[in-house]
Structure 1
């Protein structure tokens, strides 16, 4: 029986106009790191974000990895505020479906690899926070627990009191698909930016997700 949905946030519910990962790192993050005497090139940073290297890898440069990620996340929050002031963070037009999904009695959670503050910031920006019983950003006590690790997803399941078979993961990325599958859940890939192999269902937008959920719930009630 389907009882809940766990959503990714960035690029699933909201998007960042003109965002370029490398440009953001080099223009925003590197200057902040240099203020703390830290030099880290983009490629090494990228590999820690994609999971090719552990988050703790930066410690070989003499950097406390928790301090490092707190600096990065502080810059990310500044960047999001700067983007928001310029109207460059926008919700997808289909986020209205969250209200309908909630009204259907489903329990909703949001899980992001961004920090808790960054995640709450963008959800509050568009009054989306109210739809989610649980919101989890990265956990500084387990920095390698970000997606594709199932840790944050499992944390959300536990907080909702739901079993993996009662819940679906909804996201746009390879990390979302892997995290959901590793947590034992069915996964819905929202194919806004292309199809990710390994998902159980594919929808072009959240309206199509809503239709699929209605069918699933209709089948359950018959």
Structure 2
């Protein structure tokens, strides 16, 4: 189905709910995640993996990634990853420019917001508190709160239910194909972020409704910039 850009813009400006992925979208955990994977890979596959090799690991839960590598060592590898990840967390996590100002503006305008992440809730909250964005989110749907994870619609549907929202007025924003496909599967609008480590072109291949160059661009998309 095709529609005019004006009609699409009007529909996007009717959105009242924003679901955000966390890692690589609102907080810059990329170095932490990559280093955690490299540390783990070096323990089990010495000298085999480089930075570019583990980029593809980003997005799905750890269990899915490690299951493909060695089904018998999923728990062991996950523990190795998490011990390193937690130890280095505060040192390696940084903020993305414009995120806090954008969340402030959305909060002021009364938008309903939630985090939908494939992280465990405790770890997600650790990063949110470190970056000072936890105050914007009463609703967090994490990996340990669902049976199915993105791109399955369950976590998005759970977030929308908690917020009292409907898909046709909701947008899912993320840096991974799992976010875009999750939004499509749940019937929401979708937005990719150009700072995705997987690349803007790769993310665009999944046809999000919007590609954000910076997080403040979201304010323009929603029609609230300069309100």
TM-score range, shorter chain: 0.7 to 0.9
How far 1:206 moved relative to its partner? 1.1
Q: Does 1:79 align with 2:85?
A: yes
Q: Which deviations, in whole Å up to 9, do the C-alpha atoms of 1:156-178 show, x marking residues without a partner? A: 11111111011111112111100
RMSD between aligned residues: 3.5
CA distance in 2, matches of 1:100, 1:154: 25
> TM-score if structure 1 supplies the norm length?
0.73
Alignment map for 1:1-222 (pairs within 5 Å): 1-16=14-29, 18-19=31-32, 21=34, 24-28=36-40, 50=60, 61=71, 68=75, 72=78, 75-76=81-82, 79-84=85-90, 86=91, 88-95=92-99, 96-139=101-144, 142=147, 145-193=148-196, 194-195=200-201, 196-197=203-204, 198-214=207-223
How far 1:29 moved relative to its partner? 7.5
CA distance in 1, matches of 2:114, 2:224: 21
SS in 1 for 2:25: coil
CA distance in 2, matches of 1:25, 1:82: 12
Corresponding residue pairs, total: 198
CA distance in 1, matches of 2:122, 2:161: 21
- Could you list the runs of 5+ residues in structure 1 that have no partner in the other structure? 35-40
Distance 1:183 1:112, change over 3 A: same
- Could you list the runs of 5+ residues in structure 2 that have no partner in the other structure? 1-13
